Chains A and B, each alone.
Chain A
Amino acid sequence: MGLVVKDVSKSFPSEHGIKPVLQDITFESKDNEFVCVLGHSGCGKSTLLNMIAGFASPDDGLMTVNGEQINGPDQERGVVFQEHALFPWYTVLENIALGPTFQGKPKEESQQIAKKYLALVNLEDAADQYPSQLSGGMKQRVGIARALANEPKILLMDEPFGALDILTRETMRKELLNIWMHLRTMVVFVTHSIAEAVHLADRILVMKQGKIASNIEVHLDRPRDAKHPQFLSLVDELSSILIEEKARA
């Protein structure tokens, strides 16, 4: 079943009348799939992700998870934000325990769950620190653990590593991949890095000016080698799709 997005359109009001941001977006993704949404800045990636999260609703079209229509935010769709959006007044452990607590689990159990996911992202030592005391990479790991602690069906990530330096970014990508291989939750991952998408995805949705320009399945074994010929040819293919757009724009 998984996630089904069908003929979804969205526009925003602007000074020059109504501005279409997404047009006829259609794709499906299976339960254990890692989906990357790849595209230039402003092509509507966040808008799409926010609608899947339930923060906004489409003007037109249908969005369902396991056959059920998306209607507002829900714990079955966990979100990792680019700006991490951790609660500054809660410690790392409290942040992660929040989801289970909201679900009405007793304090003990929530803490137990939180500790498990804290270990998954290798941050046991920071359990009692506040977000302001963490580095960018650590914050992002807490954000991932917090979303996972709810055991969501879908993990939505909007450029989660966008604010990190290249080295940290690479480490985080590897860690995310390890976690995903372990949990096999469906992930929808927004990025504008071609290499990141090819490293991570089972399916790459290339977006151009509010439309899906291509929907590519990737069948390379993980972990992927950036020097592998198939890897390189896929990178070439993707960049030619994206650059072609630039030339026209």
Chain B
Amino acid sequence: MTVGTNEKLSLKNSMTSHFFTTERKDSLSRMMTIAGFFALWQIIGMINAHFEWFNPTFLPTPVDVLGAALHLHDQGVLFTHIWSSTWRLGVGFILGVVIAVVLDFLIAKVKLVQNALEPLINIIGPIPPFALLPIFIIWMGVGELSKLTLITYATAIPMIAYTVDGIRNVNPLLVRSALSLGANQWQVFKSVILPSALPPIFVGMRVTLAISFSAMVVAEMIGAFSGLGYLIIDSRNFFQMDNMFLAAALIGVLYSIFALILSFIEKRLFKWRQGTQMNDAISK
């Protein structure tokens, strides 16, 4: 049918051309902001170093921080710290998410599990996970186990709460539609329930990623001998402000990388959501 073809073509054209120009403009202005921030920081630090409004060691400049990074690299510990934090966070976060999602599906599907778990989560959920770290350490020692447990726990509890409603809300029309196409229970799960649960799962992951990072830093500040959190505490003991800034910045970078990976996966997974987001309501 000719109407259909025309519609499709014009849709495609307007989408692609519009897409690229705004995206490029956006990323340019974003980069300017970031560059400006570092330039300003460097300038203020240098002026302060000159006039000594306050002790310059309190505010190392970006160049000082880079120097600290090189120094740690020469000592051969920089990447050890980064790697320790990365894998702790990666393992703890993924474990926490998987546990939470499996429990969510069970809560949504099996009334018995819901009745057993929801009150439990209501009791222990309000306790900030960090309050439990000393207990974990006494139970499991100062090794990796207590740290991973904290990160996993701190991820899983909010993740359960954030995603359970999203997982429960499946459009019944789509389930009917699958059933009358001859789907069995597993096929309904795979083609309807899981795909409609993925967006809320990713929202939950984005929110809880920040919590996992806090848990990682706190766990490394108490009873650890590597990792970026440990680097902060260790540097504080020796008053190495540039190292502390470096560790904080690296945690930020690491977080951005994890967030980027998440949004990259999301983009791949949710191609179908193009044109269904709030910004797509009106296009200019």
Contacts and interface: CB of A to CB of B under 8 A. Distances in A.
Interface of A: 53-55, 72-75, 77-79, 81, 83, 85-91, 98-99, 102-103, 122-123, 125-126, 129-133, 135, 137-138, 146-147, 150, 171, 175
B170 to A, nearest CB: 12
Contact of A123 (B1, B176, B272, B275): B1
B17 to A, nearest CB: 16
A90 B272 contact: yes
Nearest to B182: A75
B182 A88 contact: no
A132 B274 contact: yes
B11 A99 contact: no
Given A89-B195, A122-B1, A130-B275, 19 more contacts: A55-B176, A73-B176, A77-B180, A79-B176, A81-B173, A85-B171, A85-B173, A85-B177, A87-B174, A87-B195, A88-B272, A88-B276, A90-B272, A91-B272, A98-B183, A102-B178, A130-B271, A130-B274, A135-B4
A70 B225 CA distance: 68
A87 B7 contact: no
B168 to A, nearest CB: 18
Given A125-B5, A125-B8, A135-B7, A85 B176 contact: yes
Contacts of A147: 180-181
B4 A138 contact: yes
Contacts of A75: 180-182
Interface stretch (B149-157, B184-192, B214-222, B247-255): B184-192
A137 B176 CA distance: 21
Nearest to B9: A125
B273 interface: yes
Nearest to B275: A132
10 contacts: A53-B176, A73-B176, A85-B174, A91-B272, A98-B178, A98-B191, A99-B182, A123-B1, A131-B272, A133-B275
Contacts of A130: 271-272, 274-275
Given A98-B191, A126-B4, A132 B272 contact: yes
B182 A89 contact: no
A207 to B, nearest CB: 22
The 4 nearest A-B residue pairs measured at CB: A75-B182, A73-B179, A85-B177, A122-B1
A160 B224 CA distance: 64
A75 B11 CA distance: 34
Contacts of A77: 180
A54 B4 CA distance: 33
A125 B2 CA distance: 10
A95 to B, nearest CB: 10
A78 to B, nearest CB: 7
A154 B271 CA distance: 34
A138 B183 CA distance: 24
Nearest to A122: B1
B179 A132 contact: no
Contacts of A138: 4, 7
A81 B179 CA distance: 13
Contact of A125 (B4, B184, B191): B4
A175 B4 CA distance: 14
A126 B272 contact: no
Given A87-B195, A123-B4, A54 B274 contact: no
Given A122-B1, A123-B4, A72 B179 contact: yes
Contact of B181 (A102, A123, A125, A129): A102
Contacts of A55: 176, 179-180
A73 B174 CA distance: 13
A74 B182 contact: yes
Interface string B70-104: 00000000000000000000000000000000000
Q: Which of B1, B176, B177 has the most CB of A within 10 A?
A: B177
A24 B270 CA distance: 48
B177 to A, nearest CB: 4
A187 to B, nearest CB: 15
A175 B3 CA distance: 14
Nearest to B2: A122
Q: Which of A72, A75, A88 has the most CB of B within 10 A?
A: A88
Nearest to A83: B173
Contacts of A98: 178, 181, 183, 191
A132 B272 CA distance: 7
A123 B271 CA distance: 21
Nearest to B7: A135
Contacts of A125: 4-5, 8
A131 B276 CA distance: 10
